[in-house]
Amino acid sequence: MTAAFKSVPVRPSEITPKHVYLSRREFLKGLGVLAGAAVLSACGLLPDEAEQATGPVNEPQAVGKKDEMGNPVNTYQDITHYNNFYEFSTDKAAVARLAENFRTSPWTLEVYGLVNRPRTFGVEDLLRLFPQEERIYRLRCVEAWSMVIPWNGFPLASLLREVEPTGNARYVRFETLFDPQQMPGLKQPWYNWPYQEGLRLDEAMHDLTLLATGLYGEPMPAQNGAPIRLVVPWKYGFKSIKSVVKIELVAEQPSTLWSSAAPDEYGFYANVNPHVDHPRWSQATERRIGELSRRETLMFNGYAEEVAHLYDGMDLSKYY
Q: What is the mean pLDDT of residues 216-244?
A: 98
User: Quick one: pLDDT at residue 39?
Assistant: 35
CB atoms within 10 A of CB 156: 26
pLDDT band at 62 (very low <50, low <70, confident <90, very high): confident
Alpha-carbon torsion (142, 148, 151, 156), positive or negative = positive
Asked if 71 contacts 295 with a C-beta cutoff of 8 angstroms, the reply is no
> Could you give the CA distance from residue 30 to residue 49 in angstroms, rounded to a whole number?
15
Tell me the whole-structure pTM to 2 decimals. 0.83
Asked if 84 contacts 237 with a C-beta cutoff of 8 angstroms, the reply is yes
Q: Strand ranges (DSSP E) for the chain?
A: 108-113, 119-122, 133-140, 145-155, 171-176, 196-200, 210-215, 218-219, 229-231, 244-250, 285-288, 295-296
In 3D space, the residue among 135, 146, 288 whose CA is nearest the CA of residue 217 turns out to be 135
Q: What is the number of alpha carbons within 13 Å of residue 184 lying toward its C-beta?
A: 11
pLDDT mean across residues, the chain: 85
Residue 83 scores a pLDDT above 70: yes
> Could you give the CA distance from residue 170 to residue 253 in angstroms, rounded to a whole number?
8
User: Quick one: pLDDT at residue 8?
Assistant: 37
Q: What is the mean pLDDT of residues 230-249?
A: 98
- CA-to-CA dists, residue 120 to 110, 117, 170, 179, 236, angstroms: 4, 10, 21, 19, 28
pLDDT band at 143 (very low <50, low <70, confident <90, very high): confident
Instruction: Identify the CATH number of the domain defined by range 12-311.
Output: 3.90.420.10
- CA-to-CA dists, residue 67 to 18, 108, 134, 220, angstroms: 14, 31, 11, 19
Residue 19 scores a pLDDT above 70: no
pLDDT band at 35 (very low <50, low <70, confident <90, very high): very low
In 3D space, the residue among 283, 257, 261 whose CA is nearest the CA of residue 272 turns out to be 283
Tens digit of each residue's pLDDT (9 = 90 or more) over 97-132: 999 999 999 999 999 999 999 999 999 999 999 999
Residue 18 scores a pLDDT above 60: no
pLDDT band at 284 (very low <50, low <70, confident <90, very high): very high
Q: What is the mean pLDDT of residues 55-78?
A: 86
Counting residues of the chain whose pLDDT is more than 70, the rounded percentage is 82
Q: What is the mean pLDDT of residues 257-272?
A: 94
Q: What is the mean pLDDT of residues 216-225?
A: 97
> Could you give the CA distance from residue 51 to residue 229 in angstroms, rounded to a whole number?
26
Tens digit of each residue's pLDDT (9 = 90 or more) over 295-316: 999 999 999 999 999 999 999 9
Q: What is the mean pLDDT of residues 268-279?
A: 96
User: Quick one: pLDDT at residue 59?
Assistant: 85
Give, for 11, the enclosing helix (H) or strand (E). none
Q: Which residues contact 31 (CB under 8 A, 6 or more apart)?
A: 45, 46, 287
pLDDT band at 41 (very low <50, low <70, confident <90, very high): very low
